[in-house]
Amino acid sequence: MSEFEDKVVIITGAGGGLGKAHALEFAKRGAKVVVNDLGGSGDGRGASDMADAVVDEIRAAGGVAIANKASVSDRAGAKSIVDDAVAEFGTVDILVNNAGILRDKSFKNMDLDDWDLLVDVHLNGSAYVTHAAWPIMYEKNYGRIVLTSSTSGIYGNFGQANYGAAKMGMLGLVNVLAIEGASKNVRVNALAPGAETRLIGTIPGRDVNPDDPRPEAHPRLVTPAVLLMCSEDAPTGKVIQALSGRYSTSAIFNNEEIALGVDASYEDLLARKDQLLDMSTAQEGSSMSRLMAKQRGQD
């Protein structure tokens, strides 16, 4: 038996691309899947029955799935996704926040409505659905949550200030929820994927056929990382990158602080600038957290 047998899995934005690949694989492994997708275009306009098509495909293969067509950026719509899962299957075990859109422009040319919309869909949408599922997972001492971030947030990418800010914001949410969920066996991680999808096709200059992605750039190659983050022995608070069958972990590193004391001045810091910026001996995590841990050990 698969460890995902009879698990109730919500996947947002699962009408195509990465979300569809995740949904098909979870269903193949015996999970009961809620396929959410508004069915809009890659830039968030319109609606369609994309979710129904994926549900039909899952059912045709002998799997179990239902569709939800709400927008994650609407609070009531986001809650309806979780409500539908509970009404149909009784609970929620796994949530994969995948829904997203793109509206790329350089920051100086960006309409602030496009800023607000991207943040609403990616960051707020992930928070809204997670907020609805959180009490269920918290009470039953089990939950696995994935937020789909991006290297555009971690490292930056020209023309994606709105997208990158929302995606990096997800890492802050993951860091906090991983701490808050630890005692309740709710594990929360972030995915930074790469694949040829409909969204990638909206980027100027990118020649992508989402209906026939190149084998080395297929969305299904990202899904193993999602399964790992949703497994019984899943990590928590991690950022896993997945692209073309290659997988790695990203992390925040911090060097040792320079102690200048209460009389510190700009000139003092300027004199130690090279030391301040030297990351050659940096360690994962915050130096402040390490110091506090050391102090606790001395108490």
Q: How many Cβ atoms from other residues are within 10 Å of residue 80's Cβ?
A: 19
Token reading at 164: 């990158």
| 3-state secondary structure (DSSP) of residue 99 | coil
Q: Is the CB of residue 148 less than 8 Å from the CB of residue 168?
A: no
* φ and ψ of 192, to 5 deg: -120, 95
Q: Quote the CA–CA distance of 148 and 97 in Å, as a whole number.
A: 6
Active-site residue, from 128, 138, 163, 266? 163
Token reading at 79: 């809650």
Does 163 participate in catalysis according to the annotation? yes
* φ and ψ of 60, to 5 deg: -60, -30
Q: Within its chain, how far is the Cα of 109 from the centroid?
A: 27
DSSP for residue 185: T
Closest C-alpha to 95, from 2, 225, 226, 183:
226
Q: Which residues are identified as catalytic? A: 163
